[in-house]
A = this chain, B = another copy of it.
Amino acid sequence: MDKTRLRCKELESKVMTAQEAAKIFENDMVVGASGFTPAGYPKAVPVELAKRAENGEEIGITLITGASVGPELDKELAVSGVMKRRFPYQTTNECRNAINEGNIKYQDMHLSHVPQWVKYGYFGEMDIAIVEAVAITEDGGIVPSTSIGNSATFIENANKVIVEINTSQPAELEGIHDIYIPQAPPNREPIPLVSVSQRIGTTYIPCDKEKIAAIVFTDISDSTRAVAPIDDTSRKMAQNLIKFLKEEVRLGRLPENLLPLQSGVGSVANAVLGGLCDSDFENLEVYSEVLQDSVLDLINANKVKFSSGTSITLSPHRLPGFYEEFDKYKDKMILRPQEISNHPEVARRLGVIAMNTAIEVDIYGNVNSTHIMGSRMMNGIGGSGDFTRNAYLSIFTTESIAKNGDISSIVPMVSHHDHTEHDVMVIVTEQGVADLRGLCPQERAEAIIENCAHPDYKEKLRDYFNRAKEGKFKHTPHLLKEALSWHEKFLETGNMK
């Protein structure tokens, strides 16, 4: 037992093996786990919990996390059948498949809603909070690792707390966190945060020592994934975006160093943000959920002076370098609870530039971020709604086609709606930019078709729009019979053309 990691003497008696700790779980329990992207989630105990089910025990739980987590949770618990219900976001193949087969009940939620729902009692009583930590302080305060997510709220509201002290996570992470949790109405006060680099809380999560039921030492690393290398298409999207932002500065609508940048998750988002390395913007700030590889690149390139998120997720090959030079990054980064990183109050106050990725966009500017062909869940809406609606400038990027051109990502009507026309200001594809601000639906359709659609699909989109305009009601012209026919055709033939 490493006493620099477990500094509270009183709690030494709570140390046990993962297998022992896994016995604390009972059938039908509601469990809150740390983790946001495959970073900072508990690993040792969930694997042991899955084994109990594999050995024939009847055990099913509701799992609530910050956002997606790694395979030790979302794969193991899905495959073993332990996971019955899942909130609010997931990305592993196993969990996704079980959801789409109807075997896991999943509610896809705005990430800022989750901690509120816990406090308001909407998930029922929380039986167990299980969180990864780099250390426990003298007073029993829990120091999170590479993400915070909802850990603080889970710890406050759960009946029992299990802590995994992960020695593969560097002890130096202590100090990077800033824990502040607002009270519930009617006693909620303004969140005092007015700048990206401001600290408003503590570096650990306060925890009632009585609630700690188990402490497990482990050294399993975060199972992060490499982001796809930046390809030509992403590079073009980034160039289009940068050109657009420069024009906004020129028109006096944005300051020279822009406003705090929020960037979505995934390969496209990483590439687009990374594209700023090649721009002449300086003194940028990042106020986002997830700090991906591109944030390090931007810090290295002296473009970003400060970044705030709720999770650090780097490609596996980037991690060692990050920890080696941690001193350089430490005073340019803060991790916050997702209730703060994603809070509408803060996003609107700071005036973030929200840049998220769409699966598909329709001619009127509605965005689908979650469902393939209307029914199949991909990941979830994540924090995209928290930021988009409250942004100074809300931007969605997508490649104009998918699956080698068999799919147009610009369609007459999206097959699922996550962000409506009211929330989407700008669409960027590798083809160009559609600035939708101030445009009526017909004008939006023209801008999106002409600037963003792939040449192979432009004529077909124009044809739909022109025929729709002949209808009686011309505000948002649609041919309801055909609005979803592109998706139908793809499902039948494997091609939208």
Contact = CB atoms under 8 A, between A and B. Distances in A.
A475 B437 contact: no
A369 to B, nearest CB: 10
Contacts of A385: 389, 422
Interface stretch (A144-152, A189-197, A289-297): A189-197
A416 B475 CA distance: 12
Interface in A423-481: 423, 437-440, 442-443, 468-469, 471-478, 480-481
A427 to B, nearest CB: 15
B349 A474 contact: no
Contacts of A56: none
Given A100-B473, A107-B440, A488 B484 contact: no
A442 B472 CA distance: 35
Given A351-B188, A381-B422, A475 B121 contact: no
Interface stretch (A173-181, A251-259, A263-271, A274-282): A251-259
Interface stretch (A41-49, A126-134, A372-380): A372-380
A326 interface: no
B349 A253 contact: no
B375 A186 contact: no
A86 B102 CA distance: 45
A344 interface: yes
Contacts of A422: 108-110, 113, 381, 385, 418
Contacts of A116: 392
A324 to B, nearest CB: 33
Interface of A: 85, 87, 99-102, 105-110, 113, 116-117, 120-124, 182, 184-186, 188-192, 194-195, 251-253, 255, 259, 343-345, 348-351, 366, 371-377, 381, 385, 389-390, 392, 415-418, 420-423, 437-440, 442-443, 468-469, 471-478, 480-481, 483-485, 487-488, 491
